[in-house]
A and B are shown apart, each in its own frame.
Chain A
């Protein structure tokens, strides 16, 4: 039974990673990262129930708190970029090269 959840988590993670690499809007890219974090959460909970312990479920709470902090920082950076460029496409931020 656990293996089903593991497979689902891996699929979710792969979707997130693919979206991270393919999508061009900074907001959507960021959402894909959140999807990756939640895939890890699912894995934590699945393994936790496999072993009959609570550690993994506790870990999921830690991850949620950290993800919330990350959203605060990330959105403010994206808003800052949007205000100075009127765009959130990651293709247009290309002044740093080499």
Chain B
């Protein structure tokens, strides 16, 4: 007979505040849909989302110091909902990164001028593409302002995934993260058939990946007899169950998370979805999903499966190498700028796995003033995110007959016709390529150094070689933009004047990319100071 006992959990609401703000604002957004008049909805939702994310970001930074203080006294930091969510230094850093990029993406969602006064989203998702209903909805100026609450729900799932210390919550967070994204990727205004196809592909593959993740969670539960990472870490040392269950569980969970990161061989959805989804949504998910999934993977593998590191390090190293090389090679063949960037994003998934494999942390004896794996992963993701969002913003502006012209042929010579735009795009591309003086270079340097110090010098060497190959991805785009003449008789491509939101986003990304490239120290130090996972006693 099992007796049911319920003890009220101790919840530290202040520590959870940033997450609660974002989730609360998302719920508020639903009410706005119901009660605010249609004409005022888009503006209201925009303001609400931006203010909410700014508040979440502010609350995270306000509490930033707490993580460091709590480290001195681990007993005081078992904050949040005891056990299932644990807010420590790395979590606060990842929250700041997530909400910061979420804020930039929300601003990008609001861009209307680039789309000739309409938003980037379809006026009526339920209407059949090309039907009368659709054109009537378009003329009536309807707009899906639900995109903002959807993005916020997705962000709160990401925030949960970053902070979770529990296998079941890990699964729920992955689903909360994904479900809104499936909808968002099917909402493009133009080329809706492609957009719907992207939504279907993303949904079917994503659902299968979550099922695989869940099956892995079930095995890990069977192995450790509980869901918390501490129990798992304890069981890795002392369990009497067979290792087969543990290895199966670890492998399946890794597959689920690597799918979200977009690493080879689980990358096949990335180019299709990135190309089909509305460009602001692509910018949002290419950055935020990757940040959240990498953070979730880090936490599970360091805090929960740290004792198994000799088993997972070589496998992840193989995945990283495969990802870098396969993505760099396939990207050369692409004929669409969005697809090129999608493969670039896959390649970056490989690069970011390099320091993860290195597993060089405070616990493993990190000297003062050197960035470990966790801090370098954070810095790398910031550099990658700034440049990627910047690139997608530029893509939004290159149009032909009112639609985005993202084929590489259409981009021929565009850098020479619009020099300012050309230079901005080149800076973002060079940052993605990892050329010195950009954030991307500092990120790669920190990341590879961490892997080197962690004993994976050969992986760091391969990654350096891989990044040299990957430079060709970006050189090719630059070459098309500046040194190729547009084909005769092709549609004229123009660069539309960006509205205020797009200008803000471009400026933020540009300042961030160059600023972090020139002065990386302060941010790297801040991440490093807060980069130690709290592994509760008993682990």
Q: Which residues of A contact B (CB under 8 A)?
A: 6, 9, 13, 16-17, 20, 26, 29-30, 33, 36-37, 39-40, 43-44, 46-47, 50-56, 59, 62-63, 66, 69-70, 73-74, 76-78, 80-81, 83-85, 90, 93-96, 98
Contacts and interface: CB of A to CB of B under 8 A. Distances in A.
A74 B175 CA distance: 12
Given A33-B207, A74-B203, A90-B204, A95 B271 contact: no
A43 B218 contact: yes
B215 to A, nearest CB: 5
Contacts of B125: 80
A75 B179 CA distance: 12
B129 interface: yes
B194 A50 contact: no
B199 A77 contact: yes
Given A33-B208, A54-B2, A80-B126, A43 B219 contact: yes
Contacts, number: 128
Nearest to A53: B225
Contacts of B221: 43-44, 47, 55-56, 59
Given A55-B227, A84-B128, A93-B197, A30 B207 contact: yes
Which 9 residue pairs of A and B lie closest in terms of their CB atoms, listed nearest first? A36-B211, A47-B222, A43-B218, A96-B272, A40-B214, A40-B218, A93-B197, A33-B207, A51-B225
Contacts of B194: 95-96
Among B125, B196, B218, B271, residue most surrounded by chain A Cβ atoms (within 10 Å):
B218
A6 B271 CA distance: 36
Given A59-B168, A69-B175, A26 B200 contact: yes
Interface stretch (B285-293, B306-314, B332-340): B332-340
Contact of A74 (B171, B197, B207, B275): B207
B4 interface: yes
Given A43-B219, A70-B207, A63 B214 contact: yes
A85 B194 CA distance: 12
Interface in B90-137: 125-126, 128-129
Contacts of A80: 125-126, 186, 196, 199
Contacts of B175: 66, 69-70
B357 interface: no
B178 to A, nearest CB: 9
A59 to B, nearest CB: 5
Contacts of A47: 218, 221-222, 225
Contacts of B199: 77, 80
25 contacts: A17-B208, A33-B208, A36-B212, A37-B214, A40-B217, A44-B218, A50-B222, A53-B225, A53-B226, A56-B221, A59-B227, A62-B171, A66-B172, A70-B207, A70-B210, A73-B182, A74-B203, A78-B200, A83-B128, A84-B196, A85-B193, A93-B201, A96-B275, A98-B271, A98-B333
Interface of B: 2, 4, 125-126, 128-129, 168, 171-172, 175, 179, 182-183, 186, 192-194, 196-201, 203-204, 207-208, 210-212, 214-215, 217-219, 221-222, 225-227, 271-272, 275-276, 333-336, 339
Contacts of B128: 83-84
A54 B199 CA distance: 37
A55 B231 CA distance: 13
A51 B126 CA distance: 48
Contact of A73 (B179, B222, B272, B335): B179
B308 to A, nearest CB: 19
